[in-house]
Amino acid sequence: MKKICSLFLIGLLAIQCKNIQPPKSVVHKAQGLITENAMVVSARVEASEIGSQILLKGGNAFDAMIATELALAVAYPFAGNIGGGGFMVYRLADGTTGALDYREKAPLAASKNMFLDEIGDIINGKSTLGGMAVGVPGTIDGLFKVHEKFGTLPFSSLIQPAIDLANKGVVVTKKQAERIAIYKEYFYKVNGTKILLDSVWKEGDTIKYVQLAKTLQRINEHGRDGFYKGETAEMLVNTVQKLGGIITLEDLEKYQAKWRKPVEFTYKDLKIISMSPPSSGGICMAQIFNAIEPFNLSELGHNSEKTIQLLTEAERRAYADRSHYLGDPDFIKIPIETLISKSYVKKRMESFSWDNATLSSTITHGKIAGFESNETTHYSIVDKFGNAISATTTLNGAYGSKVFVSEGGFFLNNEMDDFSSKPGTPNMFGLIGAEANSIEPGKRMLSSMTPTIVEKNNKFYMSVGSPGGSTIITSVLQTILNVYEFDLGMQEAVNAPRFHHQWLPDVITMEPIGFDSTLIKNLQQKGYIIKQENTTIIGKVDAILRLPNGKLEGGADYRGDDTAAGF
């Protein structure tokens, strides 16, 4: 049934996405917003503008991050959140890099087999819908950690725009109205009562988020404790426990976001800085970049048969390793240095041939001798001082677990599904996990989120990231390649059709438009299975590129309501 559930989810996303095509005007020679100084690109115009206003007032990229993330929690409840978590990678103007992990954690009462029945089978929907699916949220603690270390404007000035937006209300877009209509029945099913979004909301209506404004006000007044203790914490715990969940006040009180060392590697003359475990994004992307580096991609051609083949084979091997080796580094040992070394990947690619597809059934994780000293939204920000951030934040599924803390006005995540509930059984994104990502109390679930910053010639080059579950890694990778190898501008690179392979299932998923039938036939003849009908969106990338003349170009994905703002 878990499988049915995932198929259902994918089906829904497909309904949501199948008619989306880039407007003709943006397919070729599309150019994103160009600014001189600073920019924010996010999933909603309200959030990008709020972030950009903070930058204009003299705030830095971190101040703008706090304001943008909170504005997304109001304007984009589909994925923006205070009841979820995320990751942020930064690069300061002086070249210093770092990363913040504000990923959710398993509650202290969680246990390895909590999603299995007495005969060891997965219980349908338990890790995706309702109280048990919820991980301990990390977003608010993450924002306070950012403020403490890098903030220059008072926190109250960064949260106030989100409070005002929630009180004033947010206008429903066409895409949002469609999403709400699709998920409405789940809101009632999970919560057992009507919630705010559980009405007929049409394009152009305004939704006021009064309860959420009050929660944000409590956070404004009491800081971190306005969420993790007192009234908000009690509302959250009562809601979750009433729906059979196990989160306690102690879980909330103990939650801590963590500064991490990002994964850094080179690709030709680029330096790529991306998220480290508990996200798989940086390691997986490093492996794919290392595997393709010996080839002349620009000569092979953008989305050509050979490029698709090469990337697919690199992705197949990287995702097989992801499944075996990666998890929360606070709980397991991950051989990061080996996994991202050029020599290790070279060996993994020895079985690659241009003639035939390697079957995933013949690929397992690479052997490492001994371990040396493991629905989302993305936004990118560059400030006028030259600091850049790349942040991806999520509730996991659309509206997370669908559990809505009505008194507090916010949804809670279903991030527990990112654990491997049963080794070998796919999760919502078809990802197979192993022991490294099994459930343990207080452990963080493995992620694919890949907030990334790219340097060229020691200078900031690009900030990029995406939602899309398992397809995040390959979407970010293709966007970087589109600019660097195939000479597309930032917006063109975001618009370009994408494809994805993740080892298992052994298929190349392609977006419905942009790949011609001869190309597909040729790949099929080599043994590749192509899935193109009813595919979901592959990523929804938001990015900022520094152009040779020093200006910034935004890439805001047409697949959503994404928008760039800046000056």
Return the bridge partners of 388, or none: 91, 382
Residue whose tokens read 């003349």: 549
Task: Work out how close the CB of 228 gets to ligand DON at its nearest, in angstroms, rounded to a whole number.
Answer: 21
Considering the complex, state which of residue 311 and residue 472 has its C-beta at the smaller distance from ligand DON.
472
Nearer to ligand DON among residue 476 and residue 523 (C-beta): 476
Asked if 447 interacts with ligand DON (CB under 6 A), we say: yes
**Which of 290/448 has CB closer to ligand DON?**
448
Catalytic residue among 312, 376, 474, 535: 376
Binding residue for ligand DON (CB under 6 A) from 83, 138, 469, 560?
469
Residue with tokens 């080179």: 266
Binding residue for ligand DON, selected from 80, 151, 430, 468, defined by CB under 6 A: 468
Indicate whether 474 belongs to the interface with ligand DON (CB under 6 A).
Answer: no
Among 137, 282, 467, 554, binds ligand DON (CB under 6 A): 467
First-to-final CA distance of the chain: 50
421 forms part of the interface with ligand DON (CB under 6 A): no
Alpha helix locations (H) across 197-349?
A: 210-222, 225-228, 230-242, 249-254, 281-292, 297-300, 305-325, 336-339, 342-348
Q: Please return the burial class of 503, using the count of CB atoms within 10 Å of its CB with bins 0-12, 13-18 and 19+.
A: buried
Query: Where in 339-378 is the site for ligand DON (CB under 6 A)?
Result: 375-376
Number of Cβ within a 10 Å radius of residue 94: 8
Q: Which is nearer to ligand DON, 68 or 394 (CB)?
A: 394
Minimum distance from residue 417 beta carbon to ligand DON (Å): 8
Q: Does 394 bind ligand DON (CB under 6 A)?
A: yes
How far CA 98 is from CA of 36, 264, 276, 430, 459, in Å, comes to: 25, 10, 10, 30, 16
Instruction: Give the CB-side neighbour count of residue 326, counting CA atoms within 13 A.
Output: 29
Q: How far apart are CA 297 and CA 291, in angstroms?
A: 12
# binding residues, ligand DON (CB under 6 A)? 13
Residue 280, SS3 per DSSP:
coil
Beta bridge partners of 102: 86
Q: Does 440 bind ligand DON (CB under 6 A)?
A: no
Q: Is 380 in the site for ligand DON (CB under 6 A)?
A: no
- Answer yes or no whether residue 408 interacts with ligand DON by CB under 6 A: no
Structure tokens at 496: 């370009």
Q: With respect to ligand DON, which residue has the nearer C-beta, 467 or 489?
A: 467
**449 lies in the site for ligand DON, by CB under 6 A:** yes
Q: Is 376 a catalytic residue?
A: yes
Q: Rank residues 151 and 400 by Cβ distance to ligand DON and give the closer one.
A: 400
Residue located via tokens 């796919």? 426
Contact set with ligand DON (CB under 6 A): 375-376, 394, 396, 415, 418, 447-449, 467-469, 472
Which residues have a catalytic role annotated? 376
